[in-house]
Amino acid sequence: MRIRRALLSVSDKRGLVELARTLADLGVEILSTGGTAAALEAAGVTVVQVSTHTGAPEILDGRVKTLHPRIHGGLLGRPTPAHEAEMATHQIAPIDLVVVNLYPFEATIAKADTTLAHAIENIDIGGPSMLRSAAKNHERVTVVVEPDDYGEIIAALKADGGVPPRRRLALAQKAFAHTAAYDAAIAAYLSALPEGAADAPEAVPARRPLPDTLTVQWQRRYDLRYGENPHQEAAFYADARSPLGNERGARPTIAGAEVLGGKQLSYNNLLDLDAALGLVLEFGGPAAVIVKHNNPCGVAAGDDLATAYARARAADPTSAFGGIVAVNREVDLALAQLLAETFLECVIAPGYSEAARAALAGKKNLRLCAAGGDWAPRAGQKSWSIRTITGGALVQTVDTGLVAATDARIVTKRAPTAEELAELDFAWRVAKHVKSNAIVFTRDRATVGIGAGQMSRVDSVKIAERKAQSPVKGCAVASDAFFPFRDGVDVLAEAGATAVIQPGGSVRDEEVIAAADEHGLAMVFTGMRHFRH
């Protein structure tokens, strides 16, 4: 299927001129529209305006320009004698290559000042129509939606003048996924509009965080050896429309991380890496997190990463064996040497120095993950958390909230000292990422004992105390949710805690506060709960 005629119409113009010049050099006729045609002509590439090709002008403010039989007939005509004869009768020339990416609808609606009218005008109609026509007829037509694919197309054209059938099918699959995700974004936007939005199209609508229609598209990144257990099949999918973390200013993600060495990540590795990354992103200074079975077993801050990691490992060295480590600075040689001392599954960091890579080269089963993006602590991008249950899904906004200890309400007779407040803030950030019921003891910005996932909060306190590698006397304590009875506070006081941070909100808050006063504890309420089920 030699390419003789191509239609180029793109919003993202990366690599466009190089592709067009290659087509022109190979004698391919180039059809184009609007800004794409202007960009190509400015670069010295000869193009034929779509309006010239169709004999019909662009009308209705550009809403109609490619919706024409000479475009879609040129795309949908099959290489059969009957179709070729009919196309000739109607003077329809075949179009063999379509390069289209769509109006940036999601980027448009992400702007705070986007009105409903402006959003509607950024819904692409001609682009998706051409993509669908071309993708349906991949038997003859090559369709391209991503600039990253241009290099492969150029190589194929230079070698054979066309694109092989298998690759045309793969590109068609990508095109249909692209248009499906585009339509899903539009449906989500429109179904999140408040009642009466149509009455004021020039206003910026206040959208609901959870739309009536939720269609989320994930793309398979790679198959996994198995799921949680060896008898379960599994694969890793990434959100097709969300930043992977490599874009400038985007938050780091596991989906966007590069695995620098070692065997493939497992299902459980990915879950633990995500948990570790989420927690370490709470801290601005050097910090290290060790996660085991989706719960932190050691968290610490320090003047440098090596110090932070050593303190985190010391919090629970038994559980650290076979764990997942996350740090929020580039791994240097000093940290690498410490990491090499213990069997670990994975490490995730912004990057690794050459010396660190060399020091860890002998750890054949250790996966080193480098995640690009902005590692600074912040509220994070608005996004959904989706968990499936039998017959449906539970959808919520991601928990990006956090009330700092300095903003919490002091409820006891004794106020925490400045040092206790700083310690409570550290403990509170850790507790947010521990499975409920969660209790976290900390000292000097390092965890001492963590109690996680218990049915009774008192049991969580006792487990945290039992797992502590050093005395818990003098520790600050964080509880992810309120104490339903005073017994939890009594146990904390008996263990030697001096200050407690919790959300408050129990019907027995007064009883709990009275217990804290009896024991001389300082207690603050944040007013924000952080359950993790």
Which sequence positions are flagged as catalytic?
136, 293
> Cβ contacts of residue 476 below 8 Å, gap of 6+?
420, 423, 424, 426, 427, 441, 442, 443, 497, 498, 499, 500, 501
Q: What CATH number did the domain enclosing 459 receive?
A: 3.40.140.20
Same domain as 132, residue 272: no
Same domain as 107, residue 23: yes
> Cβ contacts of residue 487 below 8 Å, gap of 6+?
458
CA distance 250 to 239: 14
Is 484 part of any domain?
yes
Is 325 in contact with 347 (CB distance < 8 Å)? yes
Q: Which of 164, 199, 234 is the last residue of a domain?
A: 199
Number of domains making up the chain = 3
Is 333 part of any domain?
yes
Quick one: what percent of the chain has pLDDT higher than 70? 98
pLDDT tier, 4 (very low <50, low <70, confident <90, very high otherwise): very high
381 pLDDT exceeds 80? no
Is 351 part of any domain?
yes
Q: Which domain holds residue 279?
A: 244-370
Same domain as 519, residue 417: yes
Q: What is the pLDDT of residue 426?
A: 97
CA distance 154 to 21: 10
175 pLDDT exceeds 90? yes
319 pLDDT exceeds 60? yes
Find, among 187, 508, 228, 446, the residue nearest to 316 by Cα: 446
Is 391 part of any domain?
no
242 pLDDT exceeds 90? no
CA distance 101 to 124: 10
Tens digit of each residue's pLDDT (9 = 90 or more) over 417-454: 999 999 999 999 999 999 999 999 999 999 999 999 99
Find, among 287, 278, 281, the residue nearest to 378 by Cα: 281
Tokens found for residue 193: 């509009």
Tokens found for residue 506: 């129990």
Same domain as 23, residue 120: yes
Tens digit of each residue's pLDDT (9 = 90 or more) over 157-172: 888 888 999 999 999 9
Same domain as 513, residue 451: yes
Q: What is the pLDDT of residue 377?
A: 83
Q: What CATH number did the domain enclosing 142 receive?
A: 3.40.50.1380
Is 239 part of any domain?
no
CB burial readout 91-113, b (16+ within 10 A) else e: ebbbbbbbbbbbbebbeebeeee
Same domain as 43, residue 187: yes
Q: What is the pLDDT of residue 382?
A: 67
Same domain as 187, residue 256: no
Same domain as 179, residue 33: yes
Is 19 in contact with 28 (CB distance < 8 Å)? no
Is 445 part of any domain?
yes
Same domain as 40, residue 178: yes
| Average pLDDT over every residue of 37-54 | 91
Tens digit of each residue's pLDDT (9 = 90 or more) over 224-235: 999 999 999 999
186 pLDDT exceeds 80? yes
Q: What is the pLDDT of residue 248?
A: 54
Is 254 part of any domain?
yes
Is 287 part of any domain?
yes
Q: Across all residues in the chain, what is the average pLDDT?
A: 92
DSSP H helices, 43-115, are 50-54, 69-76, 81-89, 105-109
Site of tokens 């506060």: 513
Tens digit of each residue's pLDDT (9 = 90 or more) over 103-126: 788 889 989 899 999 999 989 899
Q: What is the pLDDT of residue 249?
A: 63
